[in-house]
Structure 1
């Protein structure tokens, strides 16, 4: 499988790829660069945010949600890139000093948002993580926020089983992906280790293919791991970037994999690029926010 850079854009901390199948559009963010990006055809649109942003997800209503440090906002997609029109939707995590990280919608179109202690300075520099102050929150279209987990370090990966009864969710500080049973009332059971630490970088964001296998980006591992539904390594896909951060399936047949990445001290030429590659299995569709 060969990788190429999708565009000339290079992010400081690329993250959160979302493939919007109805519009054949790719959404992603640069967390440290405070940018929301959308690619339609050959046209890249960039909205400059006032704060760090971790996710950019289109809504059924025609606008989009952006997860910023001070809350979850609606973004008017017709607003200019340098003057984005934002309206506050909700504050999921009121903990001072936290920022959003992983975010994705479940099959019902509800937003799940993981937060963490802010580890990015105003110039984009790394700050040390000294506390597990993050959480996992579910946000419904009526703006209701339900806390699901607290005391998180670096939340990464949000994937659900087809029947909606289990969640795959990562804690990057522990280099572990966990599986949670989801109770009928929506709350989570105790975590079970699904894939533990290894020598191939730390677990970051993931995508699921049509066969139920998980494609996990490995921070500082320069690779993706394709993991079986039982949490075993099926294959390793080497990448020309130091720090892949997440991935998503897209294209008309959902067999194009888009991979976000971050800059690193190794300064590889493609670090920070969105990579694209053709794969031999289709992925699962992303779900828009239902509101």
Structure 2
């Protein structure tokens, strides 16, 4: 099914590359390097990556809006970043939602639902306990959806929009909820995927056009494709121990992009461990043999 040749498209070493989003209008891939407080953009037409935004916040996740701007979920709260028609930041981000974050709490990953709502999860370092999942909707106050989470990561929705998937990496689990698209409410949690020792932890996820989930496995050095019943049907190795997230992009959404993290601060400079083994930090691309589904835009 898959051309398993993995190529590096961004050779810069991200300390913690995360949250890739394909922008269909701009035909570019965007992702955040959380600890370095940067958002990068990759243009496949030019085979070139550039720093899109370099600010004072750690951006755990972001989304593009229907008006052509960007919502940033950070360690300081939720902000709106206004962009020019060409997709260039025009000014400093402005606060969008007042959410009181605790010390060492930050947003870690987000997704957008078909109605343009944002689901955004927090984590607390260093114990990774007491995280919260919020639902953000225009004209309303932030609503708490889930509490007492460890580490919210990848989230997505089924093709029929009847199910919501939520990853809690520290318990190696992806949970499936029934989803009411009209209200944004979730219910009836069921374990969709439970990882085992030695697999690594499911991290960022995305959905393909056949209703299968693709998940990066942090510590597992691979991405896995999971069918609607929760069974792993394929596994693709990545030359990094810490792949962090996945996103379909390119023309026809036929390419799969994979972000990764360097294993520790020393690897940020070189991308290699002291023993010479590759440690990760670039962005990779492969041809999975199946197309993705276009991401929805936030209604803000």
State the TM-score, normalizing by the size of structure 1: 0.90
Superposed displacement of residue 93, structure 1 = 5.2
Query: Which residue pairs with 1:115 in the alignment?
Result: 122
Superposed displacement of residue 17, structure 1 = 0.3
SS at match of 2:253: coil
SS at match of 1:2: strand
Query: Which residue pairs with 2:179 in the alignment?
Result: 182
CA separation of 1:89/1:262 partners in 2, compared to 1, >3 Å: closer, same or farther? same
RMSD value over aligned CA atoms? Answer: 2.1
Superposed displacement of residue 136, structure 1 = 0.7
Report whether the alignment pairs 1:85 with 2:67: no
Q: Distance in 2 between matches of 1:186 and 1:43?
A: 35
Superposed displacement of residue 86, structure 1 = 1.0
Q: Which runs of 5+ in 2 are unaligned?
A: 265-271
Does the 8 Å CA contact 2:38/2:54 hold for their aligned counterparts?
Answer: yes
Does the 8 Å CA contact 2:158/2:207 hold for their aligned counterparts?
Answer: no
CA separation of 1:225/1:77 partners in 2, compared to 1, >3 Å: closer, same or farther? same
Superposed displacement of residue 186, structure 1 = 3.0
Q: Distance in 2 between matches of 1:134 and 1:76?
A: 28
Q: Deviations over 1:76-130 (max 9, x none)?
A: 335988x95111111345444310011011112211101110x3xxxxxxxx32x
Does the 8 Å CA contact 2:17/2:33 hold for their aligned counterparts?
Answer: yes
Does the 8 Å CA contact 1:27/1:56 hold for their aligned counterparts?
Answer: no
Superposed displacement of residue 43, structure 1 = 4.8
Q: Distance in 2 between matches of 1:248 and 1:169?
A: 16
> Which range moved further: 37-46 or 14-23?
37-46
Superposition pairs of residues 133-144 of structure 1, within 5 angstroms:
133-142=130-139, 144=141
Superposed displacement of residue 138, structure 1 = 1.0
Q: Distance in 2 between matches of 1:76 and 1:167?
A: 29
Q: Which runs of 5+ in 1 are unaligned?
A: 120-127
Report whether the alignment pairs 1:66 with 2:69: no
Report whether the alignment pairs 1:282 with 2:267: no
Aligned residues: 280
Does the 8 Å CA contact 1:58/1:64 hold for their aligned counterparts?
Answer: yes
Q: Deviations over 1:38-63 (max 9, x none)?
A: 22343523311212111232212122
Superposition pairs of residues 161-176 of structure 1, within 5 angstroms:
161-176=158-173
Query: Which residue pairs with 1:239 in the alignment?
Result: 238
